[in-house]
Chain A
């Protein structure tokens, strides 16, 4: 009996916590689905009277006559940014991880620690030279410039995940490849790469989420609305006084959707990436 009560309390606590964690989602949905006339400070928690997708349309295409920019173009910018950045980062991370786990040279471990520090720095400490360098290279204010930035500052985490992933591959496997006459590239191609798929999934999910959600680099490197990623556009949309709450919530929901979908469908790998980013060795 006593045990039953304890179990009941545990489930009660977990359910209560779940409800609290889901409150922002509820508010996003009900506010986003309301029409402008329905949004009211006193009835914030009420369900919408009917389904109105006006807010989503307004957040997506904007209201050019009143100077409100929609998110559609910026959503496309984010896609053009995140896809190449993710792929290049993953390839680079895989190469680095392979070398730093299986072809260690003198000082390789120190080098790796020096890499890791780059993942913790506040990016404010590199922004001024970064802007100057991007201007010199003619990449300031462009998507390719932002891709380059994300690839470079993604090196530490992608290297870390792949190094940990490759570290548990038995050395005998590489030895066997070497006896068969394969060199470093042959071993990578025929032995390591074929078993790297889970590692690539983890790294690509991590990078996809990080790049899609980035705001600091985006707002620093891109100043023109036409090239800005969706996080910056959402921040501008929400910061403008003429935009109603329902449109803000609809915009927030759309900006969150890609990473949310990745999380829902590939959550297992998402977890692994998170833990790889925290548990060293």
Chain B
């Protein structure tokens, strides 16, 4: 019994350094950033005069930040949708007893091992409006294919005077029909590069999920007269739901935090067409020395991620306890 107590003590001592490190560097630092966001430290020299929510008020009134939020929402939705559809499609194709499955899988997955910086450098070249993808598509016969990609400030949105726009105005959502709720060309360019890098990941997750579904289950459904499409609709898709949830959480937190790709590929872009909060925070804090302003962006960003991730972590904990 004494032995066991000593062991318990050693167990605790083994993990204490990590507890201390996480407590300080994750939770303590978040607390400190939160405090910095409430003071007046917007010069190189620290100034801890308390100003309440001033930094946040200024932030939400800032047009660049409003554009950033629009871009992050657009990027996140489009990126997750593209990765899920592409990843699921590729996984289903690969699940048909394919010769050379390993080779195909490796080709779809290898971009995951590369840094977003390399991806950004390559795709900036590929989406250069004067060459790259545009040149290739033009050579295939589409002579008028000339999108400006990350050099184009265009934003697509529902015009207020359109039918849909008028409907939105009538139901009190007129604000949605403006360029504050749109999708910019720069964001589309970023989504293409990010999807190239991350869709293989979703494919791998879905493939692992498909392999976990017993063949007998599908066979039984077929015997019951289910078409191949029906098997997917009624058996496979429902069983893959937990995987879709995991994928949405993983892709969602990556896309909310996206910074490296923007730095290497586009920068903020024309009229901030490809700017995101993570980039704005870095710019504000470390290039502009507006530390408190930067801290407020960081806290908004953290809140967005926490809203996505915390329920998932709590849910995972619960399901694990039940098992």
Asked if B93 and A13 make an inter-chain contact with CB atoms under 8 angstroms apart, the answer reads yes
- For the complex, would chain A's binding face be called helix, strand, loop or mixed by DSSP majority? helix
| A68, CB-defined interface residue at 8 Å | no
Cβ contacts B119-142/A at 8 Å (1 or 0 each): 111111110101110011001000
In this complex, how many residues of chain B approach chain A with their Cβ under 8 Å: the count is 98
Beta-carbon nearest neighbor of A151 in chain B: B21
28 pairs across A/B with beta carbons < 8 Å?
A10-B93, A11-B98, A18-B107, A23-B126, A27-B132, A41-B128, A44-B125, A103-B7, A103-B11, A116-B313, A122-B257, A122-B298, A124-B259, A124-B301, A126-B30, A127-B33, A127-B298, A128-B291, A184-B14, A215-B259, A216-B260, A231-B115, A251-B121, A252-B121, A256-B118, A259-B114, A264-B106, A279-B205
B109–A259 touching, CB < 8 Å = no
In the complex, which residues of chain B have a beta carbon less than 8 angstroms from the beta carbon of A156? 22
Q: Which residues on A sit within 8 Å (CB–CB) of B21?
A: 152, 155
Across chains A and B, the number of contacting residue pairs, with CB separation under 8 Å, is 265
Are B113 and A209 neighbours in the complex by a CB distance under 8 Å? yes
How many residues in A have their beta carbons less than 8 Å from beta carbons of B? 90
Within 8 Å of chain A (Cβ to Cβ): is B201?
yes
**CB of A140 within 8 A of chain B?**
no
Q: Provided the pairs A215-B263, A220-B286, A256-B115 are in contact, do residues A129 and B32 lie with their beta carbons within 8 angstroms?
A: yes
Q: Write out the residue numbers on chain A whose beta carbons fall within 8 Å of the beta carbon of B200.
A: 21
Check A42/B131 contact, CB under 8 A, given A113-B313, A122-B256, A281-B320. yes
Q: How far is the CB of B191 from chain A (nearest CB, A)?
A: 15
In the complex, B167 has a CB within 8 A of chain A: no
Interface residues of B in 237-255 (CB under 8 A from A): 243, 246-247, 250, 253
Separation in Å of the B283 CB from the closest CB of chain A? 11
Determine whether B143 belongs to the interface, using a CB cutoff of 8 Å to chain A: no
A169 within 8 A of B: no
List of B residues within 8 angstroms of A215 by Cβ: 115-117, 259-260, 263-264
**Chain B residues near A21 (CB-CB < 8 A):** 107-108, 110-111, 196, 200
**Which one, A48-56, A92-100, A190-198, is touching chain B?**
A92-100
Taking a contact as CB atoms under 8 Å apart, the answer to whether B313 and A275 are in contact is no
> Given that A129-B29, A249-B122, A252-B121 are contacting pairs, would A120 and B299 also be in contact in the complex, using a CB cutoff of 8 Å?
no
User: Nearest residue in B to A24 (C-beta to C-beta)?
Assistant: B122
Q: Mark A211-236, 1 if CB is under 8 A from B, else 0.
A: 01111100110000000000100110
- Which chain A residue has the least Cβ–Cβ distance from B267? A239
Could you tell me which residues of chain A, from 155 to 197, have a CB within 8 Å of some CB in chain B?
A: 155-156, 159, 183-185
- Tell me, in angstroms, the Cα distance from A259 to B115 when the chains sit together: 9
Chain B residues lying within 8 Å of A10, measured Cβ to Cβ, are: 93, 96, 98
| Among A42, A251, A274, residue most surrounded by chain B Cβ atoms (within 10 Å) | A274
